[in-house]
Amino acid sequence: MLAALCCLQGAAFAQGKKAATPALLMGAAWYPEQWPESRWNADLQLMEDAHLHVVRVGEFAWSTMEPEEGHYDLDWLERAVRLAEKHNIKVVIGTPTDAPPAWLTVAHPETLRVDASGRTAEHGSRRQFNYASPEYRKFCSGVAAQLARRFGHDPDVIGWQIGNEYTDESFDAATRRQFQEWLQRKYKTLDALNRDWATAYWSQTYDRWDEIPLPSGAGNPGLLLDHRRFVSDTWRDFQQVQIDVIRKYADPRQFITTNIGGLGWSDNWDHYEITRPLDLASWDDYVGEGHLDVARNAAMHDFARGWKRKNFWVMETQPGSVNWAPVNTTLDRGETRAMAWQAVGHGADAVLYWQWRDALNGQEQYHGAIAGPDGAPLPIYTEISRIGGEFDRAATALKGTTLTAQVALLLTYDSRWAIDFQPHNRNYDQLKVLLGYYRPLRDEQLTVDIVSAGAPLDSYKLVFAPSLNVISKDLAAHLLAYVQQGGHLVLGPRSGMKDEHNALNTQRQPGPLVAPLGGRVEQYYALDRAVPVSGTFGSGTASLWAEQLSTSAPDTSVLLRYGKSNGWLDGQPAMITRRAGKGVITYLGAVLDPGLMRKMVAWATSEAHVQAEFPQVPAGVEVCRRTTASHTVFVLINHGSAEAHVALPSAMSDVLHDGARVTSVDLNPQDVAVLQTEVNGGDR
């Protein structure tokens, strides 16, 4: 009776005048199941007053939704959605499959995850489930179906989040069998597997499929790479079960996503593969200890935007502090605002805080929140309210805008995993290497896409591939086609060392691209000290990694050479380049110091005719550019500690100040300006 009443109430609200959902959303994770229902309205009123337009609910509420097997109670959630509707707040429902209830894992212990040491997870935390378990997936499908039946046509439910931050795989016997079956489907015969993995090495040859282990540490590189691919496929299949049942009952207008954690850079599984079947990508943007690393955080936004090559959501971000870092520092006053606008500047259409209110108990009771345990606002509430008001004012200008880049950075998870398995230098940090290319590009205020190497490349003038370790023949053909059609490709160190089976390419590096490059890597060296490097655009040093290059074509030019070092590298090429078709292919075999790296990037952008998108700005000021066919929006953020004066290239409308026409802006530390201009440079 109560459920029917709630549905009728929802229909009545739906027929009334409803506020349109803004194009730019701010919100929070809200857990009504943790609080007395008498408190809900006060919480939602505070959210509305702070200009929050969306809440995420339900992703940890399985024991409340299904208190015993087969008995569902969703009436409380219906009442929460209806109350949110009264406050013009939309809802994203999380399927609760990251935290199964105790009754499930006690009655069905086969659904529990087993770690690499053979220990079975227990109830009392989360992620204790086995992602590969058919039995667990049955229960996931059941609760997702109940939710989708109930809310799949609800006008105030705008989307679904599947689970929460996919993380840990399982090493149980049943999952091992699934891995062996996955390999059998891929290779068809053991002869093919043994050949591609080169199992004659150390007598690793397999005579039966059930001999193949589920690796948890070092091992055959082919085995390790295929296991990572299996993990990605298994998480994608786990996700697909819930996508299918939600799509069966839900409106197409309701999006489906999952929130990706790991500070954006986790590599347990392939983010491009996981997000491919989703409607939009979302990730959880946390700083943890210390303060915002501007370039790193910007790169992670660009990385997230590149998973589906379109705008994304920040599904979780910290309201000042976290509880899981070594030292849980709080962001400075204004830093939370700067962080929110940086997300928007790099393509976020929504920013949601975790969490709305301090939990009274549980493992994250010290985590930052917007409201305290008494329900009253914490100091951060004022800053978040300001952000929400600014989002409201900027929503119209930002509606339909996205980022368009002249430059891309390329990644593949095969390459990331291959290097991680065998780093050869424990200090070779792939993210730091990537940021070595990214920082000077952003210092020039250039928009940068970070995309899979197999993505379409024809829209880019310049492409960098910092550590593209695995290059198959098909990927090589894709990259070469880009070059021959007029693109400029710069390969970084360790590129093309491996084929798709994680075996060494017989052509040496860069594998199938040796011939068009007109040169190759003769030998690679892990460095324990800096090596001098000099050439066309300056001098500096290389560290961590250096490759001795050679040229085999008369028109291959040497751009950089090593100075006196270990004898092997002395005077040898460190960077070479050659025209191929209408474009250029370049190979840099070293990790350069920041100064020389900046000069190399400046050379590459000049050669590729990459044009600056904004004039020079004071140090510490970040410029982000979002466009439509009709106009451009610039988001300027002063991450520095001093006031900054920015002269604009033309008159623009100051979106946050009633559209006033301005030719310059003055930004205090952590301050933000949002400026709009027509494509032709005129004022909109």
- Rounded distance between C-alpha atoms, residue 111 and residue 129, angstroms: 6
Whole-angstrom Cα Rg for the chain: 27
The alpha-helical segments, DSSP class H, found in 401-534 are 413-421, 430-443, 473-484, 514-517
608-622 b/e with 16+ CB inside 10 Å = b?
A: bebeebbeebeeebb
Tokens of 257: 């996503």
Tokens of 1: 């009776």
20-31 b/e with 16+ CB inside 10 Å = b?
A: eebbbbbbbbbb
What 3-state DSSP class applies to 155?
A: coil
Known catalytic membership, residue 622: no
Tokens 């976290």 correspond to: 322
Kindly write down the DSSP assignment for every residue of 571-600, as one continuous string: T-EEEEEEEETTEEEEEE-EEE-HHHHHHH
- Rounded distance between C-alpha atoms, residue 109 and residue 117, angstroms: 18
DSSP 8-state assignment for residue 502 = S
Options 169, 316, 547, 613, the catalytic residue: 316
- Rounded distance between C-alpha atoms, residue 75 and residue 146, angstroms: 12
- Rounded distance between C-alpha atoms, residue 572 and residue 567, angstroms: 10
Options 66, 78, 165, 444, the catalytic residue: 165
- Rounded distance between C-alpha atoms, residue 25 and residue 21, angstroms: 8
Torsion of CA 85, 86, 87, 91, to 10 degrees: -10
Helix (H) or strand (E) holding 198: none
- 185 φ, ψ (degrees, to nearest 5): -65, -35
- Rounded distance between C-alpha atoms, residue 200 and residue 126, angstroms: 42
Known catalytic membership, residue 316: yes
Residues designated as active site = 165, 316
